[in-house]
């Protein structure tokens, strides 16, 4: 039965951003081993190629390729997506896994705060541009975070500085995860009639470079939180289930933790800024659409 399942998905295409990171590598491994042709999208192409070689060393029959994608550049996102559109190969899975938590204020060529571009606007544009290649049964999974609960959207400062006031990396990161969560809920409704499912995965606190504060208290926080920190494989588990499990294909617009959907309050499912967020983001990316 398992071999038949793999064979049936042999030619299906999966696009995974941040595929060279800890969780991205685990997601790439699981999806490729399920028989999908995987495009590893990464701004660190050399590192991604090294990850690809490692994965192929253990399973030489995996179909994995690496392509350059810089989510801090909307031009790069558009170029990446346009090539796929020209190839016209149907996309079954899109995993928006890439993420960053900047240590200082960095403004991109598009005038966006870099965390906002990588964590939200870049994935938004990529998903919007690739929707024409998706079909009934296609799945979009966005890697969010429990920090969405402390996020706030201060317009227009959210896009240009991450937050109102001075730079503070954790609130800005949280703001981007709130935006990505709202995008998940909103998009799910917009494509429901097409049979495309869109869900969010919360990995928990995972042992990756992104949680390092580069501050004097790092050893202390590591000691306090280490028992609660998950491995990249554990953190990737919910996203993998949303991508591959049959039952996960039956729900859309959900927030998922530890492999299960977690109900969100109307504060989020009917967020007062959801439509404004969509409209403002559309304005930013319209030239690329």
List all residues 6 or more positions away from 266 whose beta carbon is below 8 Å from its beta carbon. none
Secondary structure element (H or E) that encloses residue 190, with its range: helix 169-191
Q: Is 200:254 a contact under the CB 8 Å cutoff?
A: yes
Give the active site residue among 36, 120, 124, 173: 173
What b/e sequence results for 12-51 when a residue is b if at least 16 CB atoms lie within 10 Å of its CB, and e otherwise?
A: bbbbbbbbbbbbbbbbbbbbbbbbbbbbbbbbbbeebeeb
Q: Is 75:83 a contact under the CB 8 Å cutoff?
A: no
Rama region for 143: left / alpha / beta (φ>0; ψ in -120 to 50; rest): beta
- The Cα 53–Cα 60 span in angstroms is 9
- The Cα 240–Cα 259 span in angstroms is 9
Side by side, the strands of the sheet bearing 139-143 are 63-68, 37-42, 13-17, 91-96, 139-143, 197-202, 255-257, 260-262
Active site residue 36: no
Cis link prior to 156 (omega < 30° from 0)?
yes
Residue 72: φ, ψ to 5° = -85, 0
Task: Give the active site residues.
Answer: 173
């Amino acid at each position: 039965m398992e071999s038949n399942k793999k064979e049936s998905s042999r030619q299906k295409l999966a696009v995974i951003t941040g595929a060279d990171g800890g969780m991205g590598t685990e997601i790439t491994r699981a999806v490729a081993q399920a028989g999908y042709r995987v495009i590893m999208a990464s701004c660190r192409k050399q590192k991604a190629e090294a990850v690809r070689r490692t994965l192929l060393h253990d399973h030489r029959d995996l179909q994995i390729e690496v392509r350059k994608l810089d989510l801090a550049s909307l031009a790069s996102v558009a170029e990446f997506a346009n090539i796929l559109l020209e190839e016209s190969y149907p996309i079954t899975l899109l995993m928006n896994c890439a993420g960053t938590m900047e240590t200082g204020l960095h403004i991109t060529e598009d005038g966006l705060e870099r965390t906002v571009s990588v964590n939200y606007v870049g994935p938004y544009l990529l998903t919007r541009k690739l929707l024409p290649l998706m079909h009934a049964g296609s799945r979009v999974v966005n890697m969010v975070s429990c920090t969405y609960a402390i996020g706030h959207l201060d317009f227009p400062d959210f896009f240009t500085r991450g937050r109102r006031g001075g730079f503070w990396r954790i609130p800005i990161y949280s703001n981007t995860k709130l935006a990505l969560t709202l995008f998940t809920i909103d998009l799910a409704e917009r494509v429901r009639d097409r049979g495309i499912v869109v869900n969010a995965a919360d990995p928990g606190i995972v042992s990756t470079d992104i949680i390092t504060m580069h501050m004097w208290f790092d050893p202390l926080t590591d000691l306090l939180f280490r028992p609660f920190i998950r491995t990249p494989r554990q953190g990737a588990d919910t996203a993998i289930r949303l991508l591959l499990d049959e039952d996960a294909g039956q729900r859309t617009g959900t927030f998922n933790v530890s492999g299960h959907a977690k109900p969100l309050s109307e504060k989020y499912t009917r967020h007062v800024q959801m439509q404004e967020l969509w409209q403002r983001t559309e304005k930013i990316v319209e030239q690329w659409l």
